[in-house]
Protein backbone atom coordinates (compact mmCIF):
# COMPACT_ATOMS: atom_id res chain seq x y z
CA UNK A 1 0.00 0.00 0.00
CA UNK A 2 1.28 3.46 -0.89
CA UNK A 3 2.08 5.82 1.95
CA UNK A 4 -0.84 7.94 3.10
CA UNK A 5 -0.31 11.60 2.07
CA UNK A 6 0.80 13.86 4.91
CA UNK A 7 -1.87 16.47 4.14
CA UNK A 8 -4.65 13.86 4.43
CA UNK A 9 -3.30 12.76 7.80
CA UNK A 10 -3.20 16.40 8.96
CA UNK A 11 -6.81 16.87 7.88
CA UNK A 12 -7.80 13.70 9.73
CA UNK A 13 -6.04 14.72 12.96
CA UNK A 14 -7.56 18.20 12.90
CA UNK A 15 -11.07 16.81 12.29
CA UNK A 16 -10.66 14.14 14.99
CA UNK A 17 -9.57 16.71 17.56
CA UNK A 18 -12.25 19.24 16.64
CA UNK A 19 -14.97 16.57 16.33
CA UNK A 20 -16.70 18.96 13.99
CA UNK A 21 -16.25 19.28 10.22
CA UNK A 22 -17.00 23.00 10.04
CA UNK A 23 -14.63 23.93 12.86
CA UNK A 24 -11.86 21.73 11.44
CA UNK A 25 -12.32 23.25 7.97
CA UNK A 26 -12.01 26.76 9.41
CA UNK A 27 -8.77 25.87 11.21
CA UNK A 28 -7.28 24.48 7.99
CA UNK A 29 -8.71 27.24 5.78
CA UNK A 30 -10.54 24.64 3.67
CA UNK A 31 -14.13 24.21 2.61
CA UNK A 32 -16.10 21.50 4.40
CA UNK A 33 -16.44 19.71 1.06
CA UNK A 34 -12.67 19.68 0.51
CA UNK A 35 -12.05 18.44 4.03
CA UNK A 36 -14.63 15.65 3.66
CA UNK A 37 -13.03 14.63 0.38
CA UNK A 38 -9.61 14.29 2.03
CA UNK A 39 -11.08 12.15 4.81
CA UNK A 40 -12.84 9.87 2.30
CA UNK A 41 -9.61 9.43 0.31
CA UNK A 42 -7.75 8.47 3.48
CA UNK A 43 -10.49 5.99 4.45
CA UNK A 44 -10.35 4.43 1.00
CA UNK A 45 -6.57 4.20 1.11
CA UNK A 46 -6.58 2.56 4.54
CA UNK A 47 -9.67 0.45 3.93
CA UNK A 48 -11.34 1.44 7.21
CA UNK A 49 -13.98 3.87 8.41
CA UNK A 50 -12.42 6.60 10.53
CA UNK A 51 -15.47 8.57 11.72
CA UNK A 52 -19.05 8.04 12.74
CA UNK A 53 -21.01 11.13 11.72
CA UNK A 54 -23.91 12.17 13.92
CA UNK A 55 -26.09 15.21 14.67
CA UNK A 56 -23.59 16.40 17.30
CA UNK A 57 -20.56 16.14 15.03
CA UNK A 58 -17.86 13.56 14.45
CA UNK A 59 -16.79 10.67 16.64
CA UNK A 60 -13.70 8.60 15.74
CA UNK A 61 -14.28 4.89 15.27
CA UNK A 62 -12.00 2.43 17.07
CA UNK A 63 -9.70 2.51 14.03
CA UNK A 64 -9.89 6.30 13.93
CA UNK A 65 -9.00 6.60 17.62
CA UNK A 66 -6.03 4.27 17.07
CA UNK A 67 -4.81 6.30 14.08
CA UNK A 68 -5.12 9.56 16.01
CA UNK A 69 -3.11 8.14 18.90
CA UNK A 70 -0.37 6.89 16.59
CA UNK A 71 0.08 9.83 14.22
CA UNK A 72 -1.17 12.87 16.16
CA UNK A 73 1.93 13.27 18.32
CA UNK A 74 4.23 12.80 15.31
CA UNK A 75 2.46 15.52 13.33
CA UNK A 76 2.72 17.84 16.34
CA UNK A 77 6.46 17.11 16.52
CA UNK A 78 6.89 17.90 12.83
CA UNK A 79 5.00 21.17 13.26
CA UNK A 80 7.11 22.11 16.27
CA UNK A 81 10.33 21.30 14.38
CA UNK A 82 9.31 23.53 11.48
CA UNK A 83 8.13 26.41 13.65
CA UNK A 84 11.54 28.17 13.97
CA UNK A 85 11.99 27.99 10.19
CA UNK A 86 8.73 29.71 9.37
CA UNK A 87 8.90 33.39 8.54
CA UNK A 88 6.65 35.04 11.06
CA UNK A 89 4.93 37.98 9.39
CA UNK A 90 5.16 40.66 12.05
CA UNK A 91 3.16 43.04 9.90
CA UNK A 92 0.06 40.78 9.98
CA UNK A 93 -1.88 40.88 13.25
CA UNK A 94 -4.96 38.74 13.99
CA UNK A 95 -7.10 39.46 17.05
CA UNK A 96 -10.32 37.85 18.26
CA UNK A 97 -12.84 39.93 20.25
CA UNK A 98 -16.32 39.36 21.60
CA UNK A 99 -18.84 40.99 19.22
CA UNK A 100 -20.33 43.14 21.97
CA UNK A 101 -16.99 44.63 23.06
CA UNK A 102 -15.72 44.90 19.49
CA UNK A 103 -18.65 47.06 18.37
CA UNK A 104 -19.14 49.16 21.50
CA UNK A 105 -15.57 49.76 22.70
CA UNK A 106 -12.83 48.56 20.33
CA UNK A 107 -14.13 49.76 16.95
CA UNK A 108 -14.47 53.47 17.93
CA UNK A 109 -10.80 53.41 18.97
CA UNK A 110 -9.28 51.07 16.40
CA UNK A 111 -8.85 53.71 13.65
CA UNK A 112 -6.25 55.38 15.87
CA UNK A 113 -4.18 52.19 15.98
CA UNK A 114 -4.47 51.69 12.22
CA UNK A 115 -3.43 55.31 11.61
CA UNK A 116 -0.39 54.93 13.87
CA UNK A 117 0.68 51.71 12.14
CA UNK A 118 -0.17 52.01 8.43
CA UNK A 119 2.18 49.14 7.53
CA UNK A 120 0.24 46.61 9.62
CA UNK A 121 -2.47 44.36 8.24
CA UNK A 122 -5.03 44.11 11.05
CA UNK A 123 -7.48 41.19 11.07
CA UNK A 124 -10.35 41.27 13.58
CA UNK A 125 -12.55 38.24 14.20
CA UNK A 126 -15.74 38.88 16.20
CA UNK A 127 -16.78 35.66 17.87
CA UNK A 128 -17.99 34.25 21.18
CA UNK A 129 -16.18 30.96 20.50
CA UNK A 130 -13.28 29.97 22.72
CA UNK A 131 -9.98 30.76 20.97
CA UNK A 132 -7.67 27.82 20.32
CA UNK A 133 -4.26 29.51 20.08
CA UNK A 134 -2.67 26.17 19.18
CA UNK A 135 -3.92 26.42 15.61
CA UNK A 136 -1.94 29.64 15.07
CA UNK A 137 -4.84 31.69 13.69
CA UNK A 138 -4.83 34.38 16.36
CA UNK A 139 -2.16 36.39 18.14
CA UNK A 140 -4.43 37.54 20.94
CA UNK A 141 -8.02 37.87 22.09
CA UNK A 142 -10.20 40.28 24.07
CA UNK A 143 -12.33 38.31 26.49
CA UNK A 144 -14.70 38.94 29.41
CA UNK A 145 -14.20 36.62 32.35
CA UNK A 146 -12.36 35.81 35.58
CA UNK A 147 -8.90 36.19 34.03
CA UNK A 148 -7.48 32.83 35.14
CA UNK A 149 -7.53 30.84 31.90
CA UNK A 150 -5.07 27.94 31.63
CA UNK A 151 -2.11 28.03 29.27
CA UNK A 152 -2.32 31.73 28.35
CA UNK A 153 -1.43 35.12 29.76
CA UNK A 154 -4.41 37.29 30.73
CA UNK A 155 -3.87 40.99 31.38
CA UNK A 156 -6.60 43.13 32.94
CA UNK A 157 -7.86 45.98 30.76
CA UNK A 158 -10.70 47.35 32.89
CA UNK A 159 -13.44 46.27 35.29
CA UNK A 160 -17.11 46.16 34.36
CA UNK A 161 -20.06 47.75 36.18
CA UNK A 162 -23.77 46.93 36.01
CA UNK A 163 -26.92 49.04 36.25
CA UNK A 164 -30.52 48.63 35.02
CA UNK A 165 -31.32 50.15 31.61
CA UNK A 166 -34.49 50.34 29.54
CA UNK A 167 -35.63 51.76 26.22
CA UNK A 168 -37.61 55.02 25.95
CA UNK A 169 -40.39 52.93 24.36
CA UNK A 170 -40.78 50.87 27.54
CA UNK A 171 -40.81 54.02 29.68
CA UNK A 172 -43.29 55.92 27.50
CA UNK A 173 -46.25 57.10 29.54
CA UNK A 174 -44.96 55.52 32.74
CA UNK A 175 -43.17 57.02 35.72
CA UNK A 176 -39.78 55.49 36.15
CA UNK A 177 -39.57 52.96 38.96
CA UNK A 178 -38.01 53.62 42.29
CA UNK A 179 -35.30 51.22 43.40
CA UNK A 180 -37.70 49.25 45.59
CA UNK A 181 -40.22 48.94 42.74
CA UNK A 182 -37.89 47.54 40.06
CA UNK A 183 -39.04 43.95 40.63
CA UNK A 184 -42.53 44.93 39.50
CA UNK A 185 -41.23 45.74 35.99
CA UNK A 186 -40.54 43.25 33.18
CA UNK A 187 -36.96 42.13 33.74
CA UNK A 188 -34.76 40.26 31.26
CA UNK A 189 -32.13 37.53 31.58
CA UNK A 190 -32.46 35.71 34.93
CA UNK A 191 -28.91 34.37 34.46
CA UNK A 192 -27.58 37.87 35.14
CA UNK A 193 -26.74 38.74 38.78
CA UNK A 194 -30.16 40.21 39.56
CA UNK A 195 -30.31 38.57 43.02
CA UNK A 196 -27.11 40.37 43.98
CA UNK A 197 -28.58 43.66 42.69
CA UNK A 198 -31.72 43.35 44.82
CA UNK A 199 -29.69 42.27 47.84
CA UNK A 200 -27.43 45.31 47.49
CA UNK A 201 -29.99 47.98 46.58
CA UNK A 202 -33.28 46.68 47.94
CA UNK A 203 -36.55 45.62 46.41
CA UNK A 204 -37.91 42.17 45.68
CA UNK A 205 -36.87 39.90 42.83
CA UNK A 206 -39.76 39.11 40.44
CA UNK A 207 -41.44 35.70 40.51
CA UNK A 208 -40.51 35.26 36.86
CA UNK A 209 -38.44 36.99 34.20
CA UNK A 210 -39.77 37.91 30.79
CA UNK A 211 -37.08 36.22 28.70
CA UNK A 212 -33.56 34.82 28.70
CA UNK A 213 -30.96 35.00 25.93
CA UNK A 214 -27.85 33.05 24.96
CA UNK A 215 -25.65 36.07 24.24
CA UNK A 216 -25.28 39.70 25.26
CA UNK A 217 -25.91 41.06 21.74
CA UNK A 218 -29.40 39.54 21.62
CA UNK A 219 -30.12 40.73 25.15
CA UNK A 220 -29.03 44.23 24.18
CA UNK A 221 -31.30 44.21 21.11
CA UNK A 222 -34.26 43.00 23.18
CA UNK A 223 -33.69 45.85 25.65
CA UNK A 224 -33.54 48.44 22.87
CA UNK A 225 -36.77 47.07 21.37
CA UNK A 226 -38.57 47.58 24.69
CA UNK A 227 -39.03 43.96 25.75
CA UNK A 228 -37.91 44.72 29.29
CA UNK A 229 -35.27 46.05 31.66
CA UNK A 230 -31.80 44.51 31.54
CA UNK A 231 -28.87 44.71 33.91
CA UNK A 232 -26.63 46.51 31.44
CA UNK A 233 -22.84 46.50 31.36
CA UNK A 234 -21.61 50.08 31.43
CA UNK A 235 -19.00 49.53 28.71
CA UNK A 236 -21.36 47.87 26.26
CA UNK A 237 -24.44 50.01 26.85
CA UNK A 238 -22.72 53.42 26.89
CA UNK A 239 -23.05 54.12 23.11
CA UNK A 240 -26.76 53.24 23.23
CA UNK A 241 -27.33 55.48 26.25
CA UNK A 242 -25.44 58.37 24.68
CA UNK A 243 -27.49 58.02 21.49
CA UNK A 244 -30.75 58.01 23.44
CA UNK A 245 -31.72 54.44 22.52
CA UNK A 246 -31.45 53.33 26.14
CA UNK A 247 -32.04 55.11 29.44
CA UNK A 248 -30.22 54.59 32.73
CA UNK A 249 -32.88 54.07 35.39
CA UNK A 250 -30.79 54.77 38.50
CA UNK A 251 -27.43 56.37 39.37
CA UNK A 252 -26.62 53.28 41.45
CA UNK A 253 -24.25 50.73 39.90
CA UNK A 254 -22.81 47.36 40.92
CA UNK A 255 -19.36 45.96 40.19
CA UNK A 256 -19.46 42.86 38.00
CA UNK A 257 -17.69 39.69 39.08
CA UNK A 258 -15.92 39.48 35.71
CA UNK A 259 -13.71 41.97 33.86
CA UNK A 260 -12.27 42.60 30.37
CA UNK A 261 -8.85 41.09 29.59
CA UNK A 262 -6.30 40.83 26.82
CA UNK A 263 -5.46 37.14 26.44
CA UNK A 264 -2.53 35.76 24.44
CA UNK A 265 -0.16 32.77 24.15
CA UNK A 266 3.53 32.96 25.02
CA UNK A 267 4.58 33.03 21.35
CA UNK A 268 2.84 36.38 20.75
CA UNK A 269 5.40 38.23 22.88
CA UNK A 270 7.87 37.75 20.02
CA UNK A 271 5.44 39.17 17.43
CA UNK A 272 6.23 42.83 16.76
CA UNK A 273 2.73 43.60 15.53
CA UNK A 274 1.19 42.16 18.67
CA UNK A 275 3.68 44.03 20.86
CA UNK A 276 2.56 47.30 19.27
CA UNK A 277 -1.13 46.41 19.63
CA UNK A 278 -0.70 45.35 23.26
CA UNK A 279 1.04 48.60 24.18
CA UNK A 280 -1.61 50.67 22.37
CA UNK A 281 -4.49 48.69 23.89
CA UNK A 282 -3.27 49.16 27.46
CA UNK A 283 -2.86 52.89 26.83
CA UNK A 284 -6.44 53.10 25.56
CA UNK A 285 -7.73 51.08 28.51
CA UNK A 286 -5.84 53.30 30.97
CA UNK A 287 -7.32 56.44 29.39
CA UNK A 288 -10.78 54.84 29.58
CA UNK A 289 -10.32 54.05 33.27
CA UNK A 290 -8.86 57.48 34.09
CA UNK A 291 -11.80 59.23 32.41
CA UNK A 292 -14.21 57.52 34.79
CA UNK A 293 -16.14 56.11 31.84
CA UNK A 294 -15.20 52.54 32.75
CA UNK A 295 -17.31 52.47 35.90
CA UNK A 296 -20.34 54.59 35.02
CA UNK A 297 -22.78 55.42 32.26
CA UNK A 298 -24.10 58.90 31.44
CA UNK A 299 -26.48 59.83 34.23
CA UNK A 300 -28.07 62.92 32.71
CA UNK A 301 -31.04 60.88 31.56
CA UNK A 302 -31.49 59.35 34.98
CA UNK A 303 -31.13 62.67 36.81
CA UNK A 304 -34.37 64.09 35.42
CA UNK A 305 -36.74 61.45 36.70
CA UNK A 306 -40.34 62.56 36.09
CA UNK A 307 -42.42 63.37 39.11
CA UNK A 308 -45.03 60.87 40.15
CA UNK A 309 -48.61 61.80 39.47
CA UNK A 310 -50.72 62.11 42.58
CA UNK A 311 -53.28 59.41 43.12
CA UNK A 312 -56.63 60.38 41.76
CA UNK A 313 -55.14 63.03 39.50
* Residue range of the domain that includes 178: 90-306
Are 27 and 169 part of one and the same domain?
A: no
Amino acid 83: pLDDT: 60
Are 125 and 227 part of one and the same domain?
A: yes
Any idea of the CA torsion for 136, 137, 142, 146, to the nearest 10 degrees?
-50
Residue from 236, 231, 244 nearest 171 by CA: 244
Are 41 and 125 part of one and the same domain?
A: no
Domain stop point among 85, 101, 123: 85
* pLDDT, average across residues 172-184: 91
Burial degree of 275 (CB within 10 A; 0-12, 13-18, 19+): middle
* pLDDT, average across residues 58-86: 81
**How far from chain centre, in Å, is Cα 257?**
16
Amino acid 161: pLDDT: 93
Q: Based on C-alpha coordinates, what's the Rg of the chain?
A: 25
Encode 176-241 in three state secondary structure. CCCHHHHHHCCEECCCCCHHHHHHHHCCCCCCCCCECCCCHHHHHHHHHCCCCEEEEEHHHHHHHH
> Between these two residues, 210 and 310, which has the higher pLDDT value?
210
**CATH number (domain holding residue 25):** 1.10.10.10
Domain stop point among 33, 54, 85: 85
Cα atoms in the 13 Å half-sphere on the side-chain side of 282: 10
- Residue 62 inside a domain? The answer is yes
> pLDDT digit string (tens) for 212-263?
988 888 888 999 999 999 999 988 888 899 899 999 999 999 999 999 999 9
- Residue 298 inside a domain? The answer is yes
Q: How many domains does the chain have?
A: 2
Amino acid 173: pLDDT: 86
* pLDDT, average across residues 307-313: 34
> pLDDT digit string (tens) for 119-169?
888 999 988 888 888 878 899 999 999 999 988 999 999 999 999 999 999
Any idea of the CA torsion for 54, 59, 61, 62, to the nearest 10 degrees?
-150
Which phi and psi (to 5°) does residue 114 adopt?
Answer: -60, -40
Give the model's confidence band at 3: pLDDT under 50 very low, under 70 low, under 90 confident, else very high.
Answer: low
Domain stop point among 69, 85, 101: 85
Please give the Cα distance from 199 to 203 (Å, whole number).
8
Amino acid sequence: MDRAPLNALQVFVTAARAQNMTRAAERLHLTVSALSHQVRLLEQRLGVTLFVRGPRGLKPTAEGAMLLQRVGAHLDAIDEALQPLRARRDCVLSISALPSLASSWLMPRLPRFVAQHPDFEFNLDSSIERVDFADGRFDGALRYGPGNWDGVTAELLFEEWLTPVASPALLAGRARPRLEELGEWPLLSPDDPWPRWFEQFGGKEPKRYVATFSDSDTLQRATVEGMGVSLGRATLMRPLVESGRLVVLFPERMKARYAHHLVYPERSIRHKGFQAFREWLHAEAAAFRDSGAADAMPLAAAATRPKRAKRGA
